A and B are shown apart, each in its own frame.
Chain A
Amino acid sequence: MMDAGRHPKIELLVDSEVENVTGFVGNYRAQVRRRAQYVNTDECTVCGECEKVCPVVVPDEYQEGLSSRKAIYMPFPQAVPSSYTLSAEDCLGFNPIACGKCLEVCDKKCIDYDVQDEIFDLEVGSIIVATGMEVYDPRENDEYGYTSYPNVITSMEFERLICAGGPTEGELVRPSDRKIPMRIGFVQCVGSRSSSRGVPYCSNFCCMNTVKQTLLMAEHYPGSQSIVYYTDIRAFGKGFEDLYRRSREEGVRYLRGLPGKVQEDPETNDLVVDVENTVSGRLEKHRLDMLVLAVGLVPRKFEGNGSGKRSIDEILSLSHTSDGFVMEAHPKLKPVDAPTRGVYFAGCVEAPKDVKDTVTQAGAASGRAANLLSAGEVKIEAITALVNTELCAQCKICANVCPFNAIEAADKKADRFPNFIEAACAGCGTCAAECPFDAITMRHFDDQQIMAQIDALLVDKPMEKVVTFACNWCSYAGGDTAGTARLQYPPSVRLIRTMCSGRVDQSFIYHAFRKGAPMVLISGCHFSDCHYINAVTWTQKRVEKVWTKMEKLGIRPERLQLDWISAAEGQKFARVMREVDEMLRQVTEEEVQETIRILDEEEAKRLGSAA
């Protein structure tokens, strides 16, 4: 961090927040708010006189609340810039100045209560999002008596207690009586890997963190007894198995099973833990001095400060996986890229990971960004949207639905048509499908091409065909997976590939029915897998509209099916195709002919009103 602070090509903007980002890859403009520091960081010599006279004492967040700090304080010894900072929330008051003692004692006169937040713009070519994660709060479910017993602490609190820079300068003491705990239990997976409490995923780093902490205990306090309660130890990284073995050789006991009950002896504040040893099948009772909860990681809550501000995920149009972490453009081929071009991820914002993985990902992200910046130009897929200004009614719908903010909205008063930023367009086709005036064309996936495919596949024996629109990334790949796994599905299924299910225009569906299709299936990515941020949500909305219209027209909505199939779900692909094929057999020739008649009438009405 010090190196980053001193690097001539790195400008650190501490205590700052990105409030808005406009532009596109290579040409972003970020609006940044630098919060008022109230202390001139260039002039402050860290003499500490201000801190001595400050009368406000609050819990120190850096020390997990195990010690206190003043309202004017150094966040932590290695903080960059090396300077005091004044917490406006904790200070007795600025206007009117209620205290002012720090100002009086500062020889360098580097405290200024009148400083305001500074807002400025930065022009940047790429953006790396590294906003980190949060630690699971065991208070929510009162895990293992955490809120009741002082000697039940979290792994983060243990880390501060045993750290030389911690509140006890590395002396591990029990919070209840400041005695050195010689019998310590560590409980794994607190808040992780549970569908009912905390989060369902593995937090990745907790096992090895506990192994490290047991080794620290063995090293600092010879004769201490550590016992680790676990469901399984995941020591999969380089050198991790060795570390785990060393821990066991040091006498640390690993017991498979999580405590069922934790009680405190009110006289001694010792903890009595009941646990089932799932290896021996026996119930065991342990008396411990301290219990450490290995808490997992949870995604950072992006909030716009409750003041109408947009959060960073909204600003950058970031989508999230079902576990709440941001979603990468491709899990294998673009693991550090956001779906929005020129935006990259580093660290736990993308998934829980340890320091090594974070550093690796940060290196990859900065490398990707450097590649982009040094290239000077961006090569993009030619599948982008084009607007026909003769048909465009400047309704702004396209700009509202674009997941990538690649369309600058039209302005009817100024007679300005939408501006398509091709460098930002990812080619999902949602704008083309949503445009009510057919004014937008997708290169390589235009209306005529798709209509021609529908015509071609229904030219012969249409009653035996299911017109299936499949998105390039997930459901079409799911078909491939089904094929490579030799899973059989009916030959009635005929696929039309689009880049995204968001491209499937209502007119394609009606056209297929008019051409005699008994069944139409639209398939795309699961919401959490959508490669075009939220384009798939527009697909669902559109299909719901079509169902309603079909119902009004007297066409069974069941004849239009919708399914989300991921690239790995070959079995689901085959199953869905079999089910839809089964439904196909229930559609009669008369029903199809009646549908054609109804839709032909509708089309005639539409053309009549247009004329």
Chain B
Amino acid sequence: MATKKKTFYCLRCQARFPMEHDPKIVVERTCPKCGSNSVRLETPTAAASRTEQQPIQ
């Protein structure tokens, strides 16, 4: 599967940002804002469950 840009969000600073994503390849992800590795793909469920959403950077 080709790599696609998806929206990720940081579980530390709540920043949202686009990043290359290929479900078959596991890569180290880092939040561009705070440098945390607690970065998660934003799924519709994940987005809905979050109270505050920051704009994509």
Chain A interfacial positions (CB closer than 8 Å to B): 526-528, 537, 540-541, 544, 547, 551-552, 557-558, 560-564, 572, 576, 579, 583
Scoring B residues 45 to 57 as 1 if CB is less than 8 Å from chain A, else 0, what string do you get? Answer: 1100100000000
Chain A residues in 8 Å Cβ range of B21: none
Whether B40 and A547, one on each chain, are in contact in the complex, defined by CB atoms closer than 8 angstroms, is yes
Min C-beta distance of A488 to chain B, whole Å: 19
User: How far, in whole Å, are A572 and B46 apart by their CA atoms in the complex?
Assistant: 28
Given A547-B11, A558-B12, A563-B38, list of 7 further CB < 8 A pairs? Answer: A527-B27, A527-B28, A537-B26, A557-B40, A558-B38, A579-B12, A583-B12
Task: Indicate which residue in A526, A527, A551, A576 contacts B49 across the interface (CB closer than 8 Å).
Answer: A551
Chain B residues in 8 Å Cβ range of A563: 36-38
Chain A residues in 8 Å Cβ range of B12: 558, 561, 579, 583
Within 8 A of A (CB), among B1-55: 11-12, 26-28, 34-38, 40-41, 45-46, 49
User: How far, in whole Å, are A376 and B39 apart by their CA atoms in the complex?
Assistant: 47
Min C-beta distance of B16 to chain A, whole Å: 14
User: How far, in whole Å, are A526 and B37 apart by their CA atoms in the complex?
Assistant: 10
Min C-beta distance of A588 to chain B, whole Å: 15
Q: Which residue of A lies closest to B36 (CB)?
A: A563
Whether B28 and A561, one on each chain, are in contact in the complex, defined by CB atoms closer than 8 angstroms, is no
Interface of B is mostly: loop
Whether B38 and A561, one on each chain, are in contact in the complex, defined by CB atoms closer than 8 angstroms, is yes
Knowing A527-B28, A541-B26, A579-B12 touch, does A562 contact B37 (C-beta < 8 A)? Answer: yes
Chain B residues in 8 Å Cβ range of A579: 12, 34, 36
Min C-beta distance of B50 to chain A, whole Å: 9
9 closest A-B pairs by CB = A537-B26, A527-B28, A562-B38, A558-B11, A561-B38, A563-B37, A564-B37, A562-B37, A551-B49
Whether B11 and A540, one on each chain, are in contact in the complex, defined by CB atoms closer than 8 angstroms, is no
Q: Which residue of A lies closest to B49 (CB)?
A: A551
Q: Which residue of B lies closest to A536 (CB)?
A: B28
Task: Indicate which residue in A561, A564, A576 contacts B11 across the interface (CB closer than 8 Å).
Answer: A561
User: How far, in whole Å, are A265 and B49 apart by their CA atoms in the complex?
Assistant: 67
Min C-beta distance of A274 to chain B, whole Å: 37
Q: Which residue of B lies closest to A526 (CB)?
A: B28
Min C-beta distance of A448 to chain B, whole Å: 29
Q: Which residue of A lies closest to B10 (CB)?
A: A558
Chain B residues in 8 Å Cβ range of A527: 27-28
Q: Which residue of B lies closest to A575 (CB)?
A: B35
Q: Which residue of B lies closest to A541 (CB)?
A: B26
User: How far, in whole Å, are A361 and B49 apart by their CA atoms in the complex?
Assistant: 55
Return 12 A-B CB contacts under 8 Å, by A number: A540-B26, A540-B28, A541-B26, A551-B45, A551-B49, A557-B11, A557-B46, A561-B36, A563-B36, A563-B37, A579-B12, A579-B36
Chain A residues in 8 Å Cβ range of B34: 579
Min C-beta distance of B57 to chain A, whole Å: 18
Whether A551 and B36, one on each chain, are in contact in the complex, defined by CB atoms closer than 8 angstroms, is no
User: How far, in whole Å, are A558 and B49 apart by their CA atoms in the complex?
Assistant: 12
Min C-beta distance of A316 to chain B, whole Å: 20
User: How far, in whole Å, are A528 and B35 apart by their CA atoms in the complex?
Assistant: 17
User: How far, in whole Å, are A536 and B35 apart by their CA atoms in the complex?
Assistant: 18
Min C-beta distance of B8 to chain A, whole Å: 11
Among B26, B37, B41, find the residue whose CB has the most chain A CB atoms closer than 10 A.
Answer: B37
User: How far, in whole Å, are A572 and B12 apart by their CA atoms in the complex?
Assistant: 14
User: How far, in whole Å, are A197 and B40 apart by their CA atoms in the complex?
Assistant: 31
Chain A residues in 8 Å Cβ range of B49: 551
Min C-beta distance of B7 to chain A, whole Å: 15
Chain B residues in 8 Å Cβ range of A547: 11, 40
User: How far, in whole Å, are A544 and B39 apart by their CA atoms in the complex?
Assistant: 9
Q: Which residue of B lies closest to A523 (CB)?
A: B37
Min C-beta distance of B25 to chain A, whole Å: 9
User: How far, in whole Å, are A572 and B37 apart by their CA atoms in the complex?
Assistant: 12
Min C-beta distance of A462 to chain B, whole Å: 21
